[in-house]
Amino acid sequence: MKVQDPMKNVDPRTLVRKTKGDRSLWLIVIFLYMISMLAVYSSTSALAVRKHSSTEAFLFGQIGFGVVGLFFMWVAHSMNYKFYSRVSQLVFFLAIPLLFYTLVFGSHVNDASRWIKIPYTPLSFQPSDIAKFALLLYLARLLAKRQDVITDLRKGFFPVIIPVLLTFFLILPANFSTAAILLATCMIVIFFGRASLKHIAGLVGVMVITVVFLIGIAKLVGYDGRISTWTSRLSNFGSAEKKEVSFQTQQANIAIANGSWTGLGPGNSKQCNYLPHAYSDFIFATIVEEYGMLGAATVIFLYLVFLFRCIKIFRKCNGAFGGFLVLGLGFSLTIQAFMHMAVNVHLFPVTGITLPFISKGGTSFIMTCISAGIILSVSRYIENPEDLNPDTIAAATENSTPVNTPAAASASLENLPPTPIADAPTKSGDPF
């Protein structure tokens, strides 16, 4: 009996058709993941020695996280983006108790309670990664529903900003940098949500005064926590004395200087053996050392294109929820990326920020992939509206107006009756 090759009838074009949405975003994420595998493999030699392991083991681990992350990304992009509006409230109210639990019972690393260990496993995760993701989903929902009253301080602005403040102050004690990035992202989204600039400016001023006041109170009562770490990093960053520059910054500067224009070549990094967390917090410095300024420019260009494509998707959105969702997730990832690179080149004080899609991952890598998948879900239904239910399409076409107009609320797809994507008619090549 003749045995048929199971791959003989597999059409690569069919696989391509099953991945929809913005093709440029797919290519950017895949390319960044390829850079991640090379960078992680090169930067884990010192970690391998400490763990009595090998760099190949960490490479395979990163490949595993990448496969899982890309799978979740595909699943997220395959779902109707309106589904995320319906579950955003539930996810947010599950994330808040996790943040409380982390503050009290979380694993301490460098005096910070950031991690929750999974029982009976060597694995752990950062609830802040889940919380910021949940907040951005919930914020997009709130803004979409309150567009007609968003300029009203009591009816519109306060209900939107309260979840932001709650999440910010729960993340702040253990992870100042993540809290700051999240707050900046939320302010950008709220601004595009047509909130009053006066209200936003007033809130920022109150937040600064409140944080300074709380730090002062903590100093008076003798509570230190992460305060001494924050102040020392700020003082070292602003110091003119080179001897006061942190060890991480010194090693990152040496790595960048070694890279010059073309770099030392893949796997030839020298400073990865001395640079703390070269595989995560300072992986951009490792990339510059091995691939030079040309490699650094390539990475920067990819993140800029990623942001540009997100803005383009936002401008095409007819529904408020989808537009705000893309803005929040897109700006969150790009701000984090450029903050990471700024720290690596000593343009910003040292923080524990990873480089999205590239740093050695766990929770952060997977949540980043899910975020990209949701952005692709929005773009999918912009480019392929036939995938939606015909009744929903008719209603959206009749009532929709651009998200960036004052009448966005009345036209928001958020206000349309939700229709599960599984009920939509399918065509040849559709994953459903």
The pLDDT tens digits of the residues spanning 318-357 come to 888 999 999 999 999 999 999 999 989 888 887 778 899 9
Alpha carbon 153 to its chain's center: 29
- Looking at residue 106, its pLDDT comes to 65
Would you state the pLDDT for residue 6?
43
* Inter-CA distances, 330 with 25, 145, 307, 337, 399, Å: 11, 21, 6, 11, 27
Asked whether residue 209 is domain-assigned, the answer is: yes
Q: Which two tokens stand for residue 361?
A: 């991952």
Question: What is 42-74 written as a DSSP string?
Answer: HH-HHHHHHTT--HHHHHHHHHHHHHHHHHHHH
- 142 within some domain: yes
The pLDDT assigned to 241 comes to 54
pLDDT attached to residue 28: 95
List Cα–Cα distances, 165 to 105, 170, 183, in angstroms. 22, 9, 8
> Is there a domain that residue 174 lies in?
yes
Per residue of the chain (432 residues), give pLDDT as tens. 444 444 455 455 554 556 777 889 999 999 999 999 888 888 887 777 777 677 788 888 888 888 999 999 999 999 999 899 989 999 999 999 988 888 777 665 544 556 777 766 666 778 888 899 999 999 999 999 999 999 898 888 999 999 999 999 888 887 888 888 999 999 999 999 999 999 999 988 888 888 778 777 766 766 655 655 656 666 565 555 554 557 778 888 888 988 888 888 888 888 888 888 888 888 999 999 999 999 999 999 999 999 999 999 999 888 889 999 999 999 999 999 999 999 898 888 877 788 999 988 777 888 899 999 999 999 988 876 655 554 444 444 333 344 444 334 334 434 433 333 333 333 333 332
Long-range contacts of residues 197-205, Cβ cutoff 8 Å, at least 24 apart: 199/153, 199/157, 203/161
For residue 18, the model assigns a pLDDT of 65
Q: How many CB atoms lie within 10 A of CB 53?
A: 13
d(CA 284, CA 338): 10
- Please give the tally of structural domains in the chain: 1
Domain that holds residue 63: 14-423
Does some domain include residue 268? yes
Task: Flag whether 114 is in a domain.
Answer: yes
Looking at residue 409, its pLDDT comes to 39
**Domain-located, residue 116:** yes
Q: What SS3 state is found at 301?
A: helix
The verdict on residue 374 lying in a domain is: yes
Q: Is residue 431 part of a domain?
A: no
CA dihedral 322, 327, 328, 334 (to 10 degrees): 140
